[in-house]
Structure 1
Amino acid sequence: MMWRLYNVLQFAFTLAWTAGWITLALMLRPLSGAQARLPLRMASRCWAPGLLWGAGARLEVEGLERVDWSQPCLFVANHQSVIDICALFRAIPVPLRFLLKEEMKRVPFVGWYARATGMLFIVRDNARAGALFRRDAAALLAGGQSLCLFPEGTRSRSGEVAPFKAGSLQAAIDAGVPVVPVALQGAGRVLPVDGFFRVRPGTIRLGFGTPLPVRVDGVPVTRQALADRSRAEVLALLQAWA
């Protein structure tokens, strides 16, 4: 009973905190230029830390030194929980956009913020939508912006890392930017997929793997090879923490 009451209060805090910061971010959006730098940094420095604190989550980050933060990257992460987005926003020290499912456009506040800051959307299991996403993602990356996606395609209920969908990495090859594997551990225990907002305090570990070039000796790496190597890097990080 106490846990249920605790989670109800946390859920109320999450809604209020999110609505408040998004309202402020949208008010300031006209002042931040085409790249929406200010609203994106508000997410990483204000919104995400507050939600992690509210969930009782302690974030541990490793491998920041492996990444050249002056260059755009495609970050690919395993997906355990919706709180993964908070962890990634907080850990990545540059303005960051995400690939979201199309349904998120209709979510109040979150959808408004996502559209205002240039997040990318995709209709899952739609080949034409996939081609459009790859074009838009390549343009975003080539324009000097970083993007994060979850190439498993959905959250893992078992904790196992599903195969990475190769098509989602084609944008990095087209734009000529490195792919950075990111491993997340513990998020699924802090906020599980199943059930309604069953938050439990805990530690979320986030690790950056070795950035993967999209060309070797001047020849583009195949997207399947890139997907397989990215997943192998994520698995290696997770196994090192076991």
Structure 2
Amino acid sequence: MPSHVATRPGWLYFVGRSVLRPLLWVRYHPRVIGSESVPHNGPVLLVSNHLSGLDTILIPCFSPRQVRFLAKASLFATPFKNWVMRGVGAVPVQREASNEAQQALETGRDLLLSGSVFAVFPEGSRSTTGLLNKGRSGAAWLALETGATVVPIGLQGTGHHSHQSHGKQPVVIRFGAPLELDDLSDLPRGRARREATERIMRAIQELSGQAFSGEYAEGGRGA
């Protein structure tokens, strides 16, 4: 297993979180629901809808456990940036690489097998309409490959579309109950991934309250 995957976030993660959380409370007054659904131990795959860049800050700050996530390799370009990014739990991925998607999946798999909590956005990129786009199969592959507990998250009020009608929508981070996927182990792998993806996206939709777009996100290549 690569050393950068095995290394867990250090003290900088906790310092950054202790600074950011009060600022986020003051600015957004987020309502956190169901965080007790995240197991205290073992690998956990957090799967969430994706409305804005704020999502990648809110989830690590308000998850009850340390969250690992992927970031483009250019953010690690200097020794100081590298120290900061690794300190807060980020793992570099070469976004320009032709095998980016596979590299991201393998990195996520290694993180989960090390017992970490790993967060992904199954839509692959942010929703530009506020609708929930179709999920890609990477999250399902990670869940089935590692046996990690899958906890869905529904985010509300973080996208610009939340402010366009009926005033500003409050920010809500809603953790759902862990998903049951064990019954898929006997199915052919492709069918198991499709069924797991459907369950993941249905759970996210129920938590976020979004309508389905029926389409994939443009340019989305994430898990």
Which band: TM-score by shorter chain? 0.7 to 0.9
Question: Aligned partner of 1:39: which letter?
Answer: L
Aligned pair in 2 of structure 1 residues 121, 213: CA closer, same or farther (>3 Å)? farther
5 Å-filtered alignment, 1:10-49, equals 34-49=7-22
TM-score (ref. length: structure 2)? 0.74
Secondary structure of 2:170's counterpart equals strand
Unaligned 5+ runs, structure 1: 1-32, 193-199
1:231 aligns with 2:201: yes
Q: How many residues align?
A: 199
Give the CA deviation at 1:81.
Answer: 1.2
2:123 aligns with one of 140, 149, 152: 152
Shift of 1:78: 0.7
Larger RCO: Structure 1 or Structure 2 (Cα < 8 Å, ≥ 6 residues apart)?
Answer: 2
Do the aligned residues in 1 keep the contact of 2:157 with 2:168 (CA within 8 Å)? Answer: no
Identify if the C-alpha distance between structure 1 residues 35 and 67 changes in structure 2 by more than 3 Å, giving closer, same or farther: closer
Match of residue 41, structure 2, among 45, 49, 70 = 70
Offset, 1:122? 3.8
- Bigger-Rg structure (1/2): 1
1:162 to 2:133 alignment: yes
Structure 2 segments unaligned to the other structure (5+ residues): 1-5, 211-223
Pair 191,121 (structure 1): closer, same or farther in 2 beyond 3 Å: farther
Match of 1:17 in 2: none
Q: In 1, distance between residues paired with 2:202 and 2:84?
A: 33
Q: Is it true that 1:204 corresponds to 2:171 in the alignment?
A: yes
Equivalent position of 2:86 in the other structure: 115
| Higher share of residues assigned helix | 1
Render the CA deviation track for 1:11-39: whole Å, top value 9, x for unaligned. xxxxxxxxxxxxxxxxxxxxxx9422422
The residue that corresponds to 2:57 in the other structure is: 86
Q: Work out the CA distance in 2 between the residues paired with 1:78 and 1:88.
A: 11
User: Following the alignment from structure 1 to structure 2, what is the Cα–Cα distance between the partners of residues 107 and 81?
Assistant: 26
Could you tell me how far apart the structure 2 residues matched to 1:88 and 1:110 are?
Answer: 21
Offset at residue 105 of structure 1 (A): 3.8
1:64-86 deviation line (CA, Å, top 9, x unaligned): 23332223201011111111122
TM-score scaled by length of structure 1: 0.69
1:133 to 87, 104, 107: 104
Letter in 2 for 1:49: P
In 1, the alpha carbon distance for the partners of 2:83 and 2:140 equals 26
Corresponding residue SS for 2:14? helix
Residues 1:138 and 1:228: Cα distance change in structure 2 (over 3 Å): same
> Residue in 2 aligned with 1:27?
none
Q: CA deviation at 1:111?
A: 5.8
**Percent of aligned pairs with the same amino acid:** 26
Residue 179 of structure 1 pairs with residue 150 of structure 2: yes
Distance 1:177 1:155, change over 3 A: same
Rounded to whole Å, the distance in 2 between the matches of 1:228 and 1:126 is 28
Rounded Cα–Cα distance in structure 1 between residues aligned with 2:169 and 2:28: 5
Judged with a 3 Å threshold, the aligned counterparts in structure 2 of structure 1 residues 153 and 218 are, in CA distance, closer, same or farther, namely closer
CA contact (8 A) 2:9 2:86 kept: no
Distance 2:32 2:153 in 1: 10
